[in-house]
Amino acid sequence: MGTESKRQQRFAGVIQQDLAELFHKEGSIWAPGAFITVTRVRVTPDLAIARVYLSFLNTATAQADLKAVRTKTTEIRYKLGAKIKNQVRIVPQLDFFLDDTNEYVEHMDKLFDEISKETRQPD
């Protein structure tokens, strides 16, 4: 996906904010014990599809939690539609993805720690 227009960015921001509220209120129902954050939303140029990236904290089963959220996509889309119905013509289709940025950062930190602990060979 290329650069997003201002319209796409604004619309993605609205969806991100409303989904964040929704997950804050009802996320514990869909993924018990997990704290769900909406890290990023990308919208297609026609605003018909929103790719929502979720981060799951306080859980070791992020994949299973993502699967549980995906089974509730219709319900989540309906509730989102109730919030944004006066702002849009159609409620976009929601595709949920796991945002593994935190795990990647932790992995890279561990690698750098290991590298720094190794004794340096004299040149």
Query: If 0-12 CB within 10 Å is exposed, 13-18 middle and 19+ buried, where does residue 12 land?
Result: buried
> Quick check: pTM over 0.85?
no
The third-level CATH classification (topology) of the domain covering 6-117 is: GMP Synthetase; Chain A, domain 3 (3.30.300)
Check residue 94 and give its pLDDT: 95
- The helix/strand/coil state of 99 is coil
Is 1's pLDDT higher than 60? no
- 45-56 residue pLDDT tens: 999 999 999 988
Could you report the per-residue pLDDT of 69-122, keeping only the tens digit for each? Answer: 999 999 999 999 999 888 888 899 999 999 877 667 777 878 888 887 776 666
Long-range contacts of 102-109 (CB under 8 A, 24+ apart): 102/55, 102/57
